[in-house]
Structure 1
Amino acid sequence: MNPWLIATSVMLATFMEVLDTAIASVALPYIAGSLSASNDEATWVLTSYLVANAVILPASNWFALKFGRKNFLVSCVTIFTISSFFCGAAPTLPLMLLARIIQGAGGGALQPLSQAILLESFPPEKRGAAMAVFAFGVVVAPVIGPTLGGWLTDTYSWRYAFYINIPVGIVAVVMISRFVKDPPYIANAKVPPFDNIGFGLLAVWTGCLQVILDKGQEDDWFGAVWIRWAAFFLVTSFVWFLVHSWRKKNPLVNLRIFKDWNFAIGCCLIAMFGVSIYSTITVLPLFYQELLGYTAFTAGLVAGPRGIGSILGMPIIGWLGNKVDPRYLLTFGFLVFGLCSIYFGNVDLDIGPTTLLIPIVITGFALSFVFVPITTQAYGTLHNEQIGNASGIFNLMRNIGGSIGISVAQTLLTRRADSHQNEILNYVPRSSYYYQQRVGQIASYLGRQTNPANATAAARSQVYQQLNAQALLWAFVDVFRWTGLLCFSAVALVWLFRKVKPGRAPAGAH
């Protein structure tokens, strides 16, 4: 069987799942209005999906062994596609949340299953190119998602953000059924009993973590009693989960795989990668919308060229991946992404739609040099039989990193904006000459346009709006620069990898 047909089949499923997450985030305000819900209530459309997704991710290996990887993958794509229809057709918020939970459960296994199938379907010398195809779905989909979601929502309806999955899902089911086959060790596997305790603990700690990250900033983090309780259950269930999974003979998630040095380092790096890419993808469109007044669709268009950079980089990394030490490629990717993030830290309120075009394209190019080599290094010393379990953990770490990145970025924007506002007020108090002069200039102009009696109050309001804009601008600058520093620190971690020969198969592969 041609492995590229297998790659296309599983990449379609991955692309659909990742794209849906990005599209839904853009449509949230429209979903809230249509379903008579507040914006806070509408965020559960994202949270419910992510919780269900996170629970299934590391458990996907057991289900693949139990029901067969191909059958399980086809079932997951089918569940995801059918639930997408019910998400789009939902008349009320509770029905939408129920459909999203089912959709998240169906989508949770798509990434690890697709990655495992790709790694085992290609010979060692083509494995880098295969992961470049997989990276296309994982890296490019979050970039074009906001643009596509904004266009569908503005042109048609938010419901089409979910309906778009239906034709893609049907094609994916047909292709997977036709081209994907189970390896012998899956067909002959002795499946242990289902780990009920491990699955329950996994559901509790991932659910608590996602809810805390999603709602923490709104409720002042640990200033809220319910968040302190959620954190208590998070820590307790997580520690119990670690002890249980490490000691049990056949756990749902085999954590003993972390004894493999390269895989452990790879999980740390993929989490840092998740923090970097998702925080940047979230913050940059917000900068254009909140400070420059762009619409969601226009902001998505401005940030969209990152996908062009990724597409340009995929063939190059697919070729270099089999010839160059992955550590050099990773170093290049993280350094370039970090430098571009530092460059973003020079933004001001006078930039135009194309000012950041080149650095945005370069960040997409750099991302190609991060995702594929991390995968090559992390899986390069594992046996084929370990890949299914490893893939679930690996993708969970990336998703958790992404959730943390989004939450931290939003918190930093709020907290640093307040801090910079106080700094500006201390530097230019209301009694200062500069403040009085500026208010006087604006009041003089407004007095000629409107009622002179109200000109001074209106001038002070405008100055305060300018102050808020400057404070928020510096908050965005802080986030961009700290993202750059995170990427630079990742470079040091890259060189803790043990060398894996380019193009090498996982240990024990034939």
Structure 2
Amino acid sequence: MVVMGSTLYATTLLIASTLLPQMQGTMSATQDEIAWAMTFNILATAVMTPMTGWLAARFGRRETMTWSVLLFTATTFMCGASNSLETLILWRVLQGALGAPVIPLSQTILLDAFPKRQQGLVTSIFGMAVVIGPVIGPTLGGLLSELYSWRWAFYMIVPVGLISFIGLRLTLPADRPTGRIALDWTGFLSLSVAIACVQLVLSRGQRLDWFDSGEILIETFVAILAFWIFIAHSLTARRPFLNLGLLRDRNYALGLVLVMIYGMLNFTPMVLLPPLLQQHAGFPDMLIGEIIAARGVGATIGFFIAIFVGRMDPRIGLIGGFALQVISGLWLMALDLNVDAATLMANSLVQGIAIGVIWVPLTLATFATTSSANLAEGTAVYHLLRNIGSSFFISICVAEVVRASSANYSRLVEMVNPFNRSLLLPWVTGAWDTETVTGLAKLSKEISRQAAMLGYINAFGLYTLASAMAIPLILLVGGRSRAR
């Protein structure tokens, strides 16, 4: 039941990524606007994740877990019922915020329930179970969105969420809230404001021409001020919201950087591929869902591999996983608009294997020297940075797609002129006609497709670069060590 609750979150993320093109059309939104449905959901999850420890202490693990699942289910239903971009983003924010405690609390419950020697196996089984939903979810979601509408992909999660809520109420042992943890509101609010402002800058910067906009300047100033308040307060407060002293542990500090990069790589392809495939390559929603689902299949394989790799030095699994991410990124950079579904499924499978292989050794290496007393807080920060990495990097990549598409379109249309002799050759122009308005419109559409593809290739290049940056950091991670 604990695993089922965690599965709901990952399933919703993958389904939402499959539905982005349909939601974009329904809401009459641009590509960067509809991406907010993903980024602000992840951001809300990131902001609320560190509150997991306080919520569990204040209300108890059982109450926090069960009510998070129920409220997450209710907001998922409201996402499907949304009729405007604003209401969709609002419910996605609430969905992420209210469901945030589920995954870190699930992991904490499992790690506390099993001895240290079994935690690698438990983490692998937990990871494999969590990816079962993402395998089935996008496939069914894509089918339902094609047969009915994108709303039914959200609605189908509701009965599973209700079953999970009932099962958790019946199976989780009752525990008494300790109530001993006081929430540091100054640290929480300053960190939340800083993260939210950075996200707004990244999400709206390209549309508002970055620092030529007064709004962007204000948001940047507020983000810097709020982050300075958070750091100063955390270093001087007796009980800060986040204990920065944990960063003195080398493995934990490096693990946070690596999990942030892991988050950057985790969801970005799933946000970029659906709009590219539907709008520019003509793929149906059901086929896009199958391509996304192949990633879940790969993750399942990766977690099986991680069980055996986990017996060795964790750095071996980490280097192998991030190397696969580099390979998949280079593969994506070599694609064009004539790509077939089998190639995309194979690439998605490789990405999934990499995700599965990385997760277990990364988690074990990060917390190898973390004491049990700091495990709950350390886990919360761990998931916080994973989600921040996802949200920020998605916004950066979408902004690059929009920027590069516009710039490349301007450069490509310069070639369509009477002085370009290549356009006089019939085997070059093909079906395009530069002598009529209809022909020019068709040519303009093709130029738009190719310009967009170049923008996506740039984004895939950022993905590849981020993957490669992780490998030198892995060499600094310490080997196995018993927790203090």
**TM-score, with length taken from structure 1:** 0.84
Q: Does 1:482 align with 2:482?
A: no
Between the aligned partners of 1:88 and 1:286, the Cα distance in structure 2 is 19
Q: Could you say what the CA RMSD is over the residues aligned between the two structures, in angstroms?
A: 3.1
> Cα distance, 1:43 vs. partner?
6.0
Residue in 2 that maps onto 1:405:
393
The 1:350–1:24 alpha-carbon spacing in structure 2 relative to 1, beyond 3 Å, is closer
- Give the 5 Å matches for 1:138-149: 145-149=137-141
Instruction: Give yes or no for contact 2:18–2:274 (8 Å, CA) kept in 1.
Output: no
Change (3 A) 1:430 1:389: farther
Matched, 1:76 2:68: yes
1:379 to 350, 353, 367: 367
Equivalent position to 1:500, from 475, 480, 483: 480
Q: Give the 3 Å change call, closer, same or farther, for CA 457–101 of structure 1 in structure 2.
A: closer
> What is the aligned partner in structure 1 of residue 189 from structure 2?
200
Spell out the pairing of 1:72-471 with structure 2 (5 A cutoff): 72-89=64-81, 99-136=91-128, 145-181=137-173, 191-321=180-310, 323-421=311-409, 424=412, 430-437=418-425, 442=430, 455-471=435-451
Q: Which amino acid aligns with 1:309?
A: G
Aligned equivalents of 1:223, 1:60: Cα separation in 2: 39
Q: Is the 8 A contact 1:214 1:407 kept in 2?
A: yes
Letter in 1 for 2:232: V
CA displacement at 1:434 relative to structure 2: 1.2
Q: Give, in whole Å, the separation in 1 of the partners of 2:344 and 2:136.
A: 17
CA displacement at 1:173 relative to structure 2: 2.6
Structure label with greater radius of gyration = 1
1:145 shift after superposition:
4.9
In the TM superposition, what whole-angstrom CA distance separates every residue of 1:250-271 from its partner, at most 9, and x where no partner exists? 1222222122111111111111
Deviates more, 1:152-161 or 1:328-337: 152-161
> Is the Cα contact below 8 Å between 1:57 and 1:395 reproduced in 2?
yes
Measure, in 1, the Cα distance between the counterparts of 2:460 and 2:454.
Answer: 10
Identity of aligned residues (%): 30
CA distance in 2, matches of 1:379, 1:346: 37
Distance 2:37 2:445 in 1: 32
Aligned residues of 1:62 and 1:252 also touching (Cα < 8 A): no
Q: How many residues align?
A: 483
Alpha-carbon distance between aligned partners in 2 of 1:462 and 1:37, rounded to the nearest angstrom: 23
| Post-superposition offset of 1:393 | 0.9
CA 440–111 in structure 1, closer or farther in 2 if over 3 Å, else same: closer
- 1:89 to 1:346, Cα distance in 2 relative to 1, 3 A: closer
TM-superposed deviation, 1:198: 1.8
Compare 71-80 and 170-179 and name the one that shifted more: 170-179
Distance in 2, Cα, partners of 1:480 & 1:440: 29
The one-letter code matched in structure 2 to 1:251 is P
Q: Is the 8 A contact 1:14 1:137 kept in 2?
A: no
- Is residue 439–residue 463 contact of structure 1 (8 Å, CA) maintained in 2? no
**Is the 8 Å Cα contact of residues 278 and 405 (structure 1) preserved in structure 2?**
no
Shift of 1:359: 3.1
Structure 1 position 144, deviation (Å): 5.8
The verdict on how the C-alpha distance between 1:439 and 1:119 changes in structure 2, with shifts beyond 3 A counting, is same
Measure the CA separation in 1 of the matches of 2:403 and 2:29: 23
The SS at the match of 1:348 is: coil
Q: Is the Cα contact below 8 Å between 1:341 and 1:480 reproduced in 2?
A: yes
Asked if the contact 1:130/1:318 (under 8 Å) is kept, the reply is no
Question: Structure 1 residues 362 and 59, CA, compared in 2 at 3 Å: closer, same or farther?
Answer: same
Instruction: Name the SS for the 2:480 alignment partner.
Output: coil
1:143–1:306 Cα contact (<8 Å) kept:
yes
